[in-house]
Copies of this chain bind each other. A is one copy, B any other.
Amino acid sequence: MSTIRVAVAGATGYAGEELIRLLLVHPHVQLTHLAASAKWERPVAVSTVFPRFARQCDLPLESLDPQRLAASCDAAFLALPHGVAMTLVPALLKAGKQVIDLSGDFRLKDAALFTQWYGKPHTHPELLGEAVYGITELSAQAIAKARLVANPGCYATSVILACAPLLKAGLVEPDWIVIDAKSGLTGAGRKSETQLLFAEMHENLWAYKVNHHQHVPEIEQALAPFAGGAPLGLCFVPHVVPLNRGILSSIYLRLVKPATWEQVDALYRDFYRHAPFVRLRPKDQWPQLRDVEGTNYCDLAFAVDAAQRGLILSSAIDNLLKGAAGQAVQNLNLMRGWPETAGLL
């Protein structure tokens, strides 16, 4: 099978680095271009910035240039800060390229909502309708036909995969969904902020953006169709934990009607019967981050608290893989008609 040419814009962030790692070993692609928003007087070898790629990749890191980006590839991954991708996407689409955007720029359908959560106007609202929100397992058909995929947020992926089957089955009350999410530090990006220093974060733990994290609206938007119109009441509290990679979301719901563990298990297994990257844990065994680290899997487990009609969910992913670069490649696989797992096992 011949390969296509792919580019990564935003190659010096954690997600960009992971995209490079995945794409170097993907059987159907050839990595042809790496760009970053930093300005270099002259291109720098990617292995100078990331010595781990020495002997594996000798591409230069180039300044971000829309023309060069479009010319270099058949498909582009954009792993840039929020607000940058929307300035690049129109030209890429016009040039006939497929685009997978890992930022928040094209996730929300409502431009006003974008402005509310990201603090800036959207420069290309006309593309919001076309962009496909890419939780692969939930929108496979639309992704297969998409020119532009909005790759979901890491927290959002862990929550949406866990909740969709329950809401669709009408099994849980939609009005008070408590999500206590815990993320490693790569989730904060490679930013020089004092609070992200090792000596600040090691032996530390805290809640942040309590109930106003920017992933809230995309979770609501993605889960709404499964809730059948019922208003969703999300209580979403992210926490930063002292580890590099991984998100564990613990989700607390109340059952509308009694259900056994076995019934819920059957419901999940049916819902994800064609999903190679969603794994259900056996009864009373709970996901550990280490079991998904370095993989594109989402591991799910749950318990039923019959006395209180409670349902407790635990959802684990690698935030840089299923939560970013891995799902992005999974989406490319669908967009190109390749096996969903190509380059991901």
Contact = CB atoms under 8 A, between A and B. Distances in A.
A176 B246 contact: no
A30 interface: no
Given A196-B197, A243-B242, A294 B294 contact: yes
A235 B312 contact: yes
A145 interface: no
Interface core residue of A14, A199, A200, A281 (most chain B CB under 10 Å): A199
A205 B243 contact: yes
B289 A204 contact: yes
B208 A291 contact: no
Given A210-B286, A312-B210, A243 B192 contact: no
A299 B51 contact: yes
Which of A201, A205, A281, A291 lies at the interface centre, i.e. has the most chain B CB atoms within 10 A of its CB?
A205
Contacts of A308: 175-176, 233, 235
Nearest to A243: B203
A241 interface: yes
A299 B180 CA distance: 19
A84 to B, nearest CB: 19
A176 B177 CA distance: 12
Nearest to A245: B203
A92 interface: no
Q: How large is the interface on A (under 10, 10 to 19, 20 to 34, 35 or more residues)?
A: 35 or more
A197 B211 contact: no
Contacts of A248: 205-207, 239
A193 interface: yes
B208 A286 contact: yes
Q: Please state the number of chain copies in the assembly.
A: 4
Interface string A213-234: 0000000000000000000010
B184 A199 contact: yes
A188 B200 CA distance: 12
A113 interface: no
Contact of A207 (B207, B208, B237, B286): B286
Contacts of A279: 54-55
B305 A211 contact: yes
A185 interface: yes
B289 A207 contact: no
A19 to B, nearest CB: 16
A197 B199 contact: no
Given A51-B299, A312-B211, A241 B241 contact: yes
B305 A235 contact: yes
Given A205-B289, A233-B308, 9 more contacts: A55-B297, A178-B178, A180-B180, A180-B250, A196-B198, A202-B244, A205-B243, A210-B286, A235-B312
Interface of A: 14, 25, 50-52, 54-56, 175-176, 178, 180, 182, 184-186, 188, 190-194, 196-208, 210-211, 233, 235, 237, 239, 241-246, 248, 250, 252, 254, 276, 279, 281, 285-295, 297, 299, 303, 305, 308, 310, 312, 314, 345
6 contacts: A50-B291, A188-B199, A198-B202, A206-B288, A210-B314, A237-B312
